[in-house]
């Protein structure tokens, strides 16, 4: 047995160097082992072989390297062996990574998917608590990710909370941001993180006020907010009580008159009216201001039935902007774009196209959810041309602030919003279209279209075409 010792669980460069040396020295996967830290137990007497001067150099597809970087973050003990088996097999099967039905490829892809999901959950479920340290205010969170995604996910929090000082403590390691530099430290324990503060009360109030008993779906709730994360979420303490009350609250809601805008909205409205927000001269100068102003938008009637306006999200200088149609049921409740089923399709396709969603500004052509009630459900309705035109004002404001180089319009409504004309998606998809501000647009299908294709084979073909369009957008950058 040949043994390579890696510095730590996610030591990708160490694994890469060792695996390269193994393969060059002709060490078959059954004779190769990877250990973390000093092995020192005497079981493994042959150490890492050094490739001789005559060893043939080799290269591997980028798709493998990208996948391996993700898979190494998976908690499974055999992930390093799996990756080496793939690397070894690539020697004789250069197209192996394209064989998605291969057992090793499928296992690696599945693990990468789990890692991506764990990173996504971390973005959604980290809750900071405020403390004071010698330098002033610091926000500290305790989080237990399903996989080792702290380093991968920390840059997202840097972008989100650039102006705050914060630390995220986890059993795998900690990440800290001091306003200028991101650093990683040793593993932490829950006891090292503060447990309560007034911000929790805010979260609880917010959650209780957005919790809609008429749409209670405990199964969906559990899959979106898995119970393993509940213990660190202040609002989770409210769930059993809110669930128990839901039948009573539904009746009360049905009987109650339509709600008045809440106090915050009323304040925003009056401030924006006072500042002339609806006058000719108003133009939001930041994305935050735009977000506030959208909450007060009365450019078309869609605001009446929506929970809130949902603006775009992403880096404020993203090079790529992706535009959907309008928020769906889940987005309307959460206040974030593409967090429901269509969002999951989009996330997977972006990943496959080699695009990090964290680098993309994701938004919609229309900012309020248009729907009609059907029993307890709210059924999506396509916005009409007048509504899309009214909302183009906001989309153009987002474009002016973000200044993307490429804008992907997903579906006819998004294309109408971006290009200000009716577009036949099937005819115009997949190619760069010049826009007056120097950016390029690229039209493709909407992810919900993929969700609606009943036949699995046809769905797979369309999904590949969608990924190909996203790759084309990436190439335009």
Of the residues 29, 327, 335, 412, which one makes contact with ligand URA according to CB under 6 A: 327
Residue ranges of alpha helices (H) inside 180-286 are 198-210, 218-224, 227-230, 239-255, 263-274
Quick one: 172 or 313, whose CB is closer to ligand URA? 313
Could you say whether residue 291 binds ligand URA (CB under 6 A)?
A: no
Rule CB under 6 A: which of 356-415 touch ligand URA? 364
Q: Cβ contacts of residue 231 below 8 Å, gap of 6+?
A: none
Of the residues 116, 326, 444, 472, which one makes contact with ligand URA according to CB under 6 A: 326
Contact present, 297 and 303 (Cβ < 8 Å): yes
Stretch that binds ligand URA, among 188-196, 232-240, 323-331, 397-405 (CB under 6 A): 323-331
Give me 273's structure tokens. Answer: 């009216």
Instruction: Give dist(CA 93, CA 331) in Å, integer.
Output: 43
Orientation of helix 62-71 relative to helix 79-92, angle to 10°: 170
Contact present, 126 and 119 (Cβ < 8 Å): no
Contact present, 391 and 308 (Cβ < 8 Å): no
Of the residues 173, 284, 309, 328, which one makes contact with ligand URA according to CB under 6 A: 328
For residue 23, which of 46, 44, 2 has the smallest C-alpha distance?
A: 2
Quick one: 34 or 394, whose CB is closer to ligand URA? 394
Rule CB under 6 A: which of 446-465 touch ligand URA? 448
Give me 106's structure tokens. Answer: 């499928």
Of the residues 145, 173, 284, 324, which one makes contact with ligand URA according to CB under 6 A: 324
Name the residue number minimizing CB distance to ligand URA.
324
Quick one: 32 or 362, whose CB is closer to ligand URA? 362
Could you say whether residue 444 binds ligand URA (CB under 6 A)?
A: no
Rule CB under 6 A: which of 126-165 touch ligand URA? none
Q: How far is the CB of 328 from ligand URA (least distance, A)?
A: 4
Give me 398's structure tokens. Answer: 């987002």
Quick one: 116 or 326, whose CB is closer to ligand URA? 326
Could you say whether residue 314 binds ligand URA (CB under 6 A)?
A: no
- Per DSSP bridges, beta strands 432-434 and 440-444 are antiparallel
Given CA atoms 51, 52, 53, 58 in this order, what sign does their dihedral have? negative
CB atoms within 10 A of CB 98: 11
- Write out the H or E segment, with its range, that includes residue 124: helix 103-125
Q: How far is the CB of 149 from ligand URA (least distance, A)?
A: 24
Q: How far is the CB of 342 from ligand URA (least distance, A)?
A: 4
Instruction: Give dist(CA 370, CA 310) in Å, integer.
Output: 12
Q: Count the residues of the shown chain that bind ligand URA, applying the rule CB under 6 A.
A: 13
Q: How far is the CB of 365 from ligand URA (least distance, A)?
A: 8
Could you say whether residue 308 binds ligand URA (CB under 6 A)?
A: no
Of the residues 177, 338, 394, 449, which one makes contact with ligand URA according to CB under 6 A: 338
DSSP SS3 for 255: helix
Stretch that binds ligand URA, among 135-143, 247-255, 326-334, 455-463 (CB under 6 A): 326-334
Of the residues 325, 347, 351, 469, which one makes contact with ligand URA according to CB under 6 A: 325
Instruction: Give dist(CA 46, CA 5) in Å, integer.
Output: 12
Q: How far is the CB of 208 from ligand URA (least distance, A)?
A: 24
Instruction: Give dist(CA 389, CA 204) in Å, integer.
Output: 37
Could you say whether residue 347 binds ligand URA (CB under 6 A)?
A: no
Of the residues 154, 342, 350, 388, which one makes contact with ligand URA according to CB under 6 A: 342
Residues that bind ligand URA (CB under 6 A): 324-328, 331, 337-338, 340, 342-343, 364, 448
């Amino acid at each position: 047995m040949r043994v390579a010792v890696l510095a730590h669980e996610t030591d990708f460069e160490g694994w890469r160097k060792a695996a390269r040396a193994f393969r060059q020295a002709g060490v078959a996967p059954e004779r190769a082992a990877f250990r973390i830290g000093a092995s020192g137990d005497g079981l493994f007497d042959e150490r890492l072989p050094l490739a001789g001067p005559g060893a043939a150099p080799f290269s591997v597809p980028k798709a493998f390297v990208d996948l391996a970087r993700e898979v190494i973050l998976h908690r499974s003990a055999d992930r390093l062996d799996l990756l080496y088996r793939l690397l070894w097999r690539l020697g004789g099967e250069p197209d192996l990574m394209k064989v998605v039905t291969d057992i090793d490829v499928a296992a690696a892809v599945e693990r990468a998917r789990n890692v991506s999901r764990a990173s996504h959950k971390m973005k959604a479920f980290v809750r900071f608590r405020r403390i004071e340290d010698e330098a002033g205010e610091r926000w500290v969170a305790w989080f237990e990710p399903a996989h080792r995604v702290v380093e991968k996910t920390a840059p997202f929090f840097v972008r989100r909370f650039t102006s705050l000082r914060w630390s995220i403590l986890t059993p795998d390691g900690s990440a800290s941001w001091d306003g200028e530099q991101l650093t990683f430290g040793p593993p932490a324990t829950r006891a090292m993180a503060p447990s309560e503060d007034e911000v929790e009360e805010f979260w609880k109030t917010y959650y209780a006020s957005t919790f809609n008993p008429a749409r209670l779906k405990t199964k969906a709730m559990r899959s979106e907010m898995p119970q393993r994360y509940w213990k660190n979420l202040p609002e989770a303490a409210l769930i059993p009580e809110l669930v128990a009350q839901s039948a009573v609250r539904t009746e009360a809601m049905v009987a109650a008159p339509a709600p008045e805008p809440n106090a915050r909205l009323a304040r925003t409205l009056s401030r924006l009216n006072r500042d002339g927000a609806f006058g000719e001269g108003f133009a939001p100068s930041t994305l935050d201001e735009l977000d506030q102003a959208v909450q007060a938008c009365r450019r078309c009637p869609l605001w009446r039935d929506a929970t809130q306006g949902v603006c775009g999200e992403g880096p404020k200088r993203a090079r790529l902007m992706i535009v959907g149609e309008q928020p769906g049921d889940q987005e309307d409740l959460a206040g974030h774009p593409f967090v429901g089923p269509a969002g999951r399709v989009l996330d997977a396709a972006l990943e496959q196209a080699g695009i990090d969603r964290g680098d993309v500004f994701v938004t919609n052509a229309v900012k309020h959810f248009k729907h009609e009630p059907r029993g307890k459900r709210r059924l999506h309705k396509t916005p009409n041309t007048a509504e899309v035109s009214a909302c183009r004002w906001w989309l153009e404001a987002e474009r002016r602030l973000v200044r993307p180089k490429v804008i992907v319009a997903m579906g006819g409504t998004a294309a109408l919003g971006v290009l200000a004309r009716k577009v036949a998606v099937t005819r115009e998809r997949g190619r760069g279209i010049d826009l007056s501000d120097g950016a390029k647009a690229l039209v493709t299908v909407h992810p919900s279209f993929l969700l609606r294709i009943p036949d699995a084979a046809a769905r797979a073909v369309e999904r590949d075409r969608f990924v190909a369009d996203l790759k084309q957008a990436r190439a335009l950058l």
